[in-house]
Amino acid sequence: MQRTVSSSPLAPSVKVKLINAGFHTAADLVDLLPLQLCQEAGISQEEANEVLQALRHDSRLCQERAAEGCITALELLHCEQSQGSLVTFSSELDAVLGGGVSVGKTTEICGTPGIGKTQLCIQLAVDVQIPVCFGGLGGKAVYIDTEGGFLVQRAAEMARAAAEHCALLAEDTEQRAALEDFTLEKILSNIFLIRCHDYVELLAETYLLPNLLQKCAEVKLVVIDSIAFPFRHDFEDFSQRTRLLNSLAQQLNQLANQQQTAVVLTNQMTTKVSNGQSKLVPALGESWGHAATEKLILHWEEDKSVGVAKAAYHVSRTRATPPLSGSGRGKSSKRSPALPPCLVFCRSSSRKADGWPLSTSLPGKWKPLSNTKLRVKDSGMPV
């Protein structure tokens, strides 16, 4: 296999020396001893060792990949259909998202301040732990907090409400047995909270996440709340910020895909002025718009103090009128707006929600696209 030296993941200065010495493919190098490489290429012993290790590791990975073959779309479909999804305890939001937040993809939640992004994230951190026999994922959650908005008391309220809700639903012995692991203490102990104070800590944490997730394979949700905050101040060089964000996006996508976890990011809104008009758009620039696979934008609808999200699917959709009020016991009534999307989607009956009365099963043949951005669309604020 002709893996060239110039396309291998080596340090640029070392690559230049190797190419000048005349080594152009990995096959030229792999059989040499470190000392020989050292003399021929003029690099240090350490660098020679690193180069040989990297190239051999690379060729081993390629052979493994070749041996297992590639995956066809049919196999991918089976994987997707057998995966559960992460419910949000709001049936309309779940319906819009296609059953809940998708596992294995990155979801971005954007919204104006106070609309409930952190509340939704805390709710998801509780919901991911719902036992499998109740229709949940039975996993743990990693919560990376950059703003300091995680309130333990609120998480405790939501956990208690979720446990009570499941207790009411328990029908058979299996579910009752699972309830013993679904108590307030257990739920709170399965949320791993990491507090990052600036973007360097956040980037470092993202580099460490794959190792963490490999050691702790039950983690099914990673929340970063919020990703905009550390990048929006203290950054003079915008092009460097764009580059860092692009590489962060790729790492998060890779994490979601390889570890099969749901990654949820929260973003803020900023004002964009063009042609004398201003409109609210998600922060962090246009290139960040490509980062997440699914995007949910929430904003207030004029006088109603209600959060609205609308899907930009290209199939026909209906608009549900009254907002869902305080769905689930996980939301306290002090916070008047719930998170009702005014959109109801028809979903296929291929996914059952056993013992989950809150998600309404609607008739219809269309399965919503799980790969489309949701946009707020209002008469005054096109996005």
Partner 1 sequence: MRCKGVMVILREGICPGLTEEIIKALQAEDIRTVEDLVSSDAEELAQKCSVSYKALVAFRRVLLAQHAAFPVAGLDLYDELLSSTSILSTGNPSVDKLLDSGLYTGEITELAGGPATGKTQLCFSVAVSIAHEHKQNVLYICTNGGMCASRLLQMLQARTVKTDEQTYALQRIQVFQVFDVFSLLSCLQHLRAAGLQSSTVAGGSVKAVIVDSVSAVLSCMLGGKQNEGMSLMMQVAAELKMIAKDFNTAVLVTNHVTRDGRGQLKAGLGQSWSHVPRTRLLLQRVDRPGAPHGLRTATLTKSSRQVSAGLGFCSPPQYLTDNAEALETAVNTARLVLMGYHASLYMKRKFSTAFHSLQVLSVK
Nearer to partner 1 by Cβ, of 35 and 66: the residue is 66
Residues 111-150 that bind partner 1 (CB under 8 A): none
CA distances from 56 to 12, 69, 374 (A): 18, 20, 44
What span, in angstroms and rounded, lies between the C-alpha atoms of 261 and 82? 14
Nearer to partner 1 by Cβ, of 173 and 274: the residue is 274
Read off the tokens for 159.
């956990």
Read off the tokens for 103.
């596992």
Tell me the one-letter amino acid at 138.
G
Under the binding rule (CB under 8 A), the answer on residue 65 touching partner 1 is yes
Nearer to partner 1 by Cβ, of 76 and 177: the residue is 76
**Among 49, 160, 270, 313, interactor with partner 1 by CB under 8 A:** 313
DSSP letters of 166-223?
HHHH--SHHHHHHHTT-SHHHHHHTEEEEE--SHHHHHHHHHHHHHHHHHSTTEEEEE
The nearest distance, CB 40 to partner 1, in angstroms, is 9
Nearer to partner 1 by Cβ, of 232 and 272: the residue is 272
**Among 36, 39, 53, 247, interactor with partner 1 by CB under 8 A:** 247
What span, in angstroms and rounded, lies between the C-alpha atoms of 163 and 186? 10
Tell me the one-letter amino acid at 112.
T
Under the binding rule (CB under 8 A), the answer on residue 208 touching partner 1 is no
What span, in angstroms and rounded, lies between the C-alpha atoms of 346 and 107? 21
Stretch that binds partner 1, among 101-109, 124-132, 301-309, 325-333 (CB under 8 A): 101-109
The nearest distance, CB 194 to partner 1, in angstroms, is 22
Beta bridge partners of 194: 144
Stretch that binds partner 1, among 14-22, 163-171, 188-196, 213-221 (CB under 8 A): 14-22
Map tokens 């639903």 to a residue: 169
Under the binding rule (CB under 8 A), the answer on residue 53 touching partner 1 is no
Stretch that binds partner 1, among 163-171, 188-196, 237-245, 334-342 (CB under 8 A): 237-245
Residue 334 — φ and ψ, nearest 5°?
-65, -30
Q: For residue 115, count CB atoms less than 10 angstroms from its CB and return exposed for 0-12, middle for 13-18, buried for 19 or more.
A: buried
**Among 176, 195, 243, 335, interactor with partner 1 by CB under 8 A:** 243
Stretch that binds partner 1, among 182-190, 244-252, 301-309, 321-329 (CB under 8 A): 244-252
**Among 49, 183, 260, 370, interactor with partner 1 by CB under 8 A:** 370
What span, in angstroms and rounded, lies between the C-alpha atoms of 53 and 57? 6
The nearest distance, CB 140 to partner 1, in angstroms, is 22
Residue 318 — φ and ψ, nearest 5°?
-110, 155
Residues 69-88 that bind partner 1 (CB under 8 A): 69-74, 76-77, 79-81
Nearer to partner 1 by Cβ, of 331 and 347: the residue is 347
Q: For residue 9, count CB atoms less than 10 angstroms from its CB and return exposed for 0-12, middle for 13-18, buried for 19 or more.
A: exposed
The nearest distance, CB 183 to partner 1, in angstroms, is 35
Residue 217 — φ and ψ, nearest 5°?
-75, -5
What span, in angstroms and rounded, lies between the C-alpha atoms of 145 and 223? 8
Q: Any idea what DSSP says for residue 148?
A: S
Nearer to partner 1 by Cβ, of 128 and 281: the residue is 281
Tell me the one-letter amino acid at 188.
L
Under the binding rule (CB under 8 A), the answer on residue 251 touching partner 1 is yes
Under the binding rule (CB under 8 A), the answer on residue 372 touching partner 1 is yes
Residues that bind partner 1 (CB under 8 A): 1-4, 6-9, 12, 15, 19, 21-24, 28, 58, 61-62, 65-66, 69-74, 76-77, 79-81, 104-106, 239-240, 242-244, 246-247, 249-251, 253-254, 256-257, 286-287, 289-291, 293, 295, 312-315, 366-367, 369-373, 375, 382
